């Protein structure tokens, strides 16, 4: 479903990804790991088209991303849910509205928005924080709001960037359970993380990056 072929990405002086080739199957749940600064976030951003590769080709559902017209980018993104490492929550909107935004953008009506947002909030155990503003939440709570926003639109692909960096092991396990459930409904999931606990003994594929190179592909 997602194909990287000889993809490289350079920032000014920094090479973030070097000649990366791999593919993720439809319905797969895969992990990307590697040291801090090894290129995990960059890789996810390339799939989301929020960065463009300098070399190589990336395709999703056999569609090459560099042939996409600008007006097709939002449509691509609507198929993908992204758990941003830096959260990107809007501090001038409460938790409910932050999550609802992902649905409003898709033109979904108010009634459906309401039920789906509350469902997502229940999934991450934050139903009671719906009226709070992000800057009044704890770090872990914010992270769970971001996860709720990513899954509320029921995307066909879910990209999660360090989704458990700010939560305790119990909450972390809960989040992984949620991901597994979503995966079971056919959603393709890619999780970037440095937390080995997440993929230990899962039997899932783990791609390891080192300084921009794809150095190994193992099973967790």
Partner 1 sequence: MATFAFRLALRSILHEKWINLLSILAIAASLLITALTVLSVYNVDVATQKLPERFSMMLYLKDKLSGGEVENIMNTLKKEHAVESVKYIPKDQALKELKTMLKGTDHVLEGLEENPLPDSIEIKLKKEAVGTETAQQLSTRLRETKGVDDVEYGEKFLFAISSIKTGVKTIGILFIMIMSASVIFVCYSTVKILFYRKKEEIETYKLLGATKGFIRAPFIIEGAFIGLSGGLLSLLGILLVYYIVIFRLSHTIPIFNALIFPANISFLLPPIGLSLGIAGAAIAIGRIRY
Binding site for ligand ATP (CB under 6 A): 11-12, 14, 16, 34, 36-42, 85, 136-141, 166, 194
Distance separating the N- and C-terminal Cα atoms of the chain: 21
In the complex, the smallest distance separating the C-beta of residue 120 from ligand ATP, rounded to whole angstroms, is: 18
Do β-strands 29-34 and 205-210 pair in parallel, antiparallel, or remain unpaired?
parallel
Q: Does 220 bind a second copy (CB under 8 A)?
A: no
Interaction partner, residue 165 (a second copy, ligand ATP, partner 1, none; CB < 5-8 Å by kind): a second copy
By CB atoms closer than 10 A (0-12, 13-18, 19+), residue 46 is buried
Q: Nearest-CA neighbor of 163 among 137, 143, 180, 141? A: 143
Selected range binding Mg ion among 38-46, 54-62, 96-104, 111-119, rule: CB under 5 A: 38-46
Q: Contact region for partner 1 (CB under 8 A) — 79-87, 124-132, 138-146, 187-195?
A: 79-87
N residues, the chain: 220
C-beta of 44 vs 113, nearer to a second copy: 44
86 lines the binding site for a second copy (CB under 8 A)? yes
Burial class (CB in 10 A: 0-12, 13-18, 19+), 74: exposed
Query: Residues 124 to 153: which contact partner 1 by CB under 8 A?
Result: 149
């Amino acid at each position: 479903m997602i194909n990287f072929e000889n993809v490289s990405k350079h920032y000014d002086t920094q090479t973030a990804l070097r000649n990366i080739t791999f593919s993720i199957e439809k319905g797969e749940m895969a992990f990307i790991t590697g040291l801090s600064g090894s290129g995990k976030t960059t890789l996810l951003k390339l799939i989301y088209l929020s960065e463009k590769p300098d070399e190589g080709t990336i395709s999703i559902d056999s569609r090459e991303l560099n042939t996409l017209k600008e007006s097709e980018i939002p449509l691509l993104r609507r198929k993908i849910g992204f758990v941003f490492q830096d959260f990107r929550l809007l501090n001038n909107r409460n938790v409910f509205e932050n999550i609802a935004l992902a649905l409003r953008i898709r033109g979904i009506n108010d009634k459906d928005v309401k039920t789906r947002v509350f469902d997502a909030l229940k999934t991450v155990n934050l139903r009671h924080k719906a009226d709070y503003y992000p800057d009044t939440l704890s770090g872990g709570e914010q992270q769970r709001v971001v996860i709720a926003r990513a899954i509320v639109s029921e995307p066909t692909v879910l990209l999660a960037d360090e989704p458990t960096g700010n939560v305790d092991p119990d909450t972390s396990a809960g989040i992984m359970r949620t991901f597994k459930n979503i995966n079971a409904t056919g959603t393709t999931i890619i999780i970037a993380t440095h937390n080995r606990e997440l993929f230990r003994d899962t039997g899932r594929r783990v791609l390891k990056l080192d300084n921009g190179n794809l150095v190994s592909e193992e099973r967790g």
